[in-house]
Amino acid sequence: MRSITVTMRVLSAIVAIFASVSGHTFAQNGLNTMQNKATRDWAVVNEFGGSKCSVDRNSIEKRGEIARALVMYSLDPPGTDKRNDKKVAAMLNIEEYNLRTGTFRLLQIVFQYTDGTESEPLSTDPDWKPATAGNQSTLKFIQGLK
């Protein structure tokens, strides 16, 4: 009986460690997984001038009050990456939204250049900010999904 109790405690500890590591791994690997989804289902949520903001419906992941999505800003006319002077056709962002508080944070940016190449993923300020303007449109779109 004692060996069963000890075994159960050891298994519980292993599960707790695995869950902790898995949560951290999800946070890091989730970004790569989101960008590599094979089928995209883009929905335009905002237009500004000739540019558009679209959300990939298939990328949306909700965990409680937090939603993460792949968001593309198609730029017309193209922008410029000031680091290398390359023309930017689109920005592919991984954004998180707090559906209750109406805040968001930008987790990663990848520039898609007009020559068909992409930048390395850029890290961003992970602080939560109020969703305003275009981010408000994205927030409302995600909140409206079941």
Per-residue model confidence (pLDDT) at position 3 = 40
Per-residue model confidence (pLDDT) at position 35 = 53
Per-residue model confidence (pLDDT) at position 106 = 96
Per-residue model confidence (pLDDT) at position 133 = 84
Question: Which of 94-103 are b and which e, b meaning 16 or more Cβ less than 10 Å from the residue's Cβ?
Answer: bbbbbeeebb
The top-level CATH class assigned to 39-144 is mainly beta
Per-residue model confidence (pLDDT) at position 39 = 86
Per-residue model confidence (pLDDT) at position 38 = 61
- Angstrom CA distances, 24 to 20, 55, 86, 132, stand at 6, 25, 34, 29
Per-residue model confidence (pLDDT) at position 135 = 93
* 45 contacts: CB under 8 Å, gap ≥ 6: 53, 54, 55, 137, 138, 140, 141
| Assigned token pair, 26 | 């999800």
From first to last of the 146 residues of the chain, give the pLDDT tens digit. Answer: 444 433 334 333 333 333 333 333 333 444 455 555 568 999 999 999 999 999 999 999 999 999 999 999 999 999 999 999 999 999 999 999 999 999 999 999 999 999 999 999 998 989 999 999 889 999 999 999 86
Per-residue model confidence (pLDDT) at position 22 = 34
**Domain regions of the chain by residue span:** 1-36, 39-144
